[in-house]
Amino acid sequence: MIGRGLPRISPLILEALLVIGLLAGLYDLFNVFRTLGYLPAPFVFDVSDTFMDWFNTAYWSHNPGAYSVWNTIYAPLSFVITKVIGDPTCYASAPWDARNCDVLGIVGILAIYFACVVATAVALYRRDRSTALFRTIGLGVGGPMLFALERGNLIMWAYLVFVLFYGQLIRSKVGNAIAAAVMINLKSYLLFPVLGLIAHRRWRALELAGFATLGIYFLSMFIINAGTPFELVHNLQVWFDMRAGTIWDEVLYSTTYKPYLLFDVRQYPIRDYVEQRSIDIAKIVITGEVIASRAIAMICVAGAYFYPKAVSMQRIAFFILMQSFMNQNPGGYAIAFIVFLVFMEEWRNWGTGLAIACCYLVSIPTDLTISVFYHYERESWLSGRLVDSAYGLPLGALVRPGLLVIVLWSLAIDSLIDIHRAIKTERPNLGLGWRRRPDLAQV
């Protein structure tokens, strides 16, 4: 019984209901698109620039100046991929012209999305057959993955190898090292969860991943003849300066409430419209929440180092990513990493159950715009017609970071309980070696 007089509802039924809600959100998104002719916020505001991340990258992979003119922060591997999967004759003039020309590029975007869904299904099926279908739907047509698809972002390639690595679909040590290297070369922040191998004393795996990462980086740099470490560091500094001024883009699909603090320090006179006391309280609450959330995540990582049997590799990766995502928004599509790691969990208690339920909610692909700030008439590439696109604040921008905080704290409390049990039954591991559990031998 769940409480007195309340009937027990099985986790499977709850997940089925959550999937129905998510599919209802997908149906609503389809109806909105059919009515308006474009995908509303938090999808890309420039409705004529669908697949923008792919075709802008592909343009500079076929033309010089990716690092000196475009000031990209992508590692060279991104340009190798978009150069190979694309028609070079389509990039003689401008990136947006290629959408109606480079069929191979669009096929590549759709193919990698399909591969992500298939790999997710296989990993989840091996983990738990009873929930695999529900969770595959949650990831496959959830907001983060659809957002990545609509932008044509190379994060889908990183997500694919992420699933292969943490879904234990690769059996060889060399294969895992290459997967880790590809992840890192596509999204640099994925270096940190790979360093989580230290907690389980996976020194050989970490060493192989390090060599593979450097090998792929230098090989891809040689292929495109650009992307030196000095260029990347310089462009990263430029990128941080530019991103600091795009507050609305930061909050639309964020993993953290921290970007909201910028409203009080940038060009938005928020104190002219909101009471000063309310703003000061909000700043204290957000700052405290970010610090506390990052601290609890790192405490769990530290606990995993001293008691490695108590925390799985998937959870270590989850906590390392979340402490980063609580401090810096990597983009809404990065939520797919978090959802996958949580969906690899069993619904064994209230902590894991609440985290799984929140991941379904955070994946709902539709949203409700609560305030519109700007209208712009332009042609929608997806619908092929002129539309009056609206730019505003969606409800999800306020709710989504809170759901991710709940996910973090739910799994953190559950992990701390496991670590506490381990403290009572075994000594802390202070050495550099550890006999691995069989289920983690290939991770």
Residue 269 in this model has a pLDDT that exceeds 70: no
- Three-class secondary structure of residue 386 per DSSP: strand
Residue 302 has pLDDT above 80, yes or no: yes
Residues 6+ apart with CB under 8 A from 368: 394, 395, 396
Cite the beta strand spans of 269-408 per DSSP E.
369-380, 385-394
- pLDDT value at 250 more than 90: no
Q: How far apart are CA 105 and CA 352, in angstroms?
A: 39
Which has the minimum average pLDDT: 42-56, 308-322, 330-344? 42-56
Calculate mean pLDDT across residues 117-123. Answer: 98
Other C-beta atoms closer than 10 Å to the C-beta of 13 total 10
Give the range among 49-63, 197-211, 246-260, 311-325 with minimum mean pLDDT.
246-260
Phi–psi pair at 127, nearest 5 degrees: -75, -50
Average pLDDT of every residue of the chain = 90
pLDDT band, very low/low/confident/very high, at 267 (cuts 50, 70, 90): low
Chain mean position to CA 225:
29
Bridge partners (DSSP) of residue 379 are: 386
How far is residue 343's CA from residue 365's CA, in Å, rounded to a whole number?
17
Percent of the chain clearing pLDDT 90 (strictly above)? 74
Q: Which segment of 258-267, 287-296, 303-312 scores lowest on mean pLDDT?
A: 258-267
Look at residue 242 in the predicted model and tell me its pLDDT.
67
CA 94, 99, 105, 107: dihedral to nearest 10 degrees?
180
Q: Which residue bears the tokens 């692909």?
A: 365
Min mean pLDDT across 141-145, 212-216, 236-240, 272-276 is at 272-276
Is residue 338 over pLDDT 80? yes
- For 313, the 3-state DSSP assignment is helix
Torsion over CA: 303, 423, 357, 408 (sign)? negative
Task: Report whether pLDDT(111) > 90.
Answer: yes
pLDDT band at 438 (very low <50, low <70, confident <90, very high): very low
Q: What is the pLDDT of residues 376-432, one digit of tens each?
A: 899 999 999 999 988 888 999 999 999 999 999 999 999 999 999 999 998 888 877
Q: What are phi and psi of 377, to 5 degrees?
A: -90, 120
Q: How far is CA 56 from the centre of its chain?
A: 20
> Do the bridges between strand 385-394 and strand 369-380 make them parallel or antiparallel, or are there none, so unpaired?
antiparallel
- Give pTM, 2 decimals: 0.93
Confidence of residue 245 (pLDDT cuts 50, 70, 90): low
pLDDT at 371: 84
Collapsing DSSP to helix, strand or coil, 373 comes out as strand
- pLDDT value for 186: 96
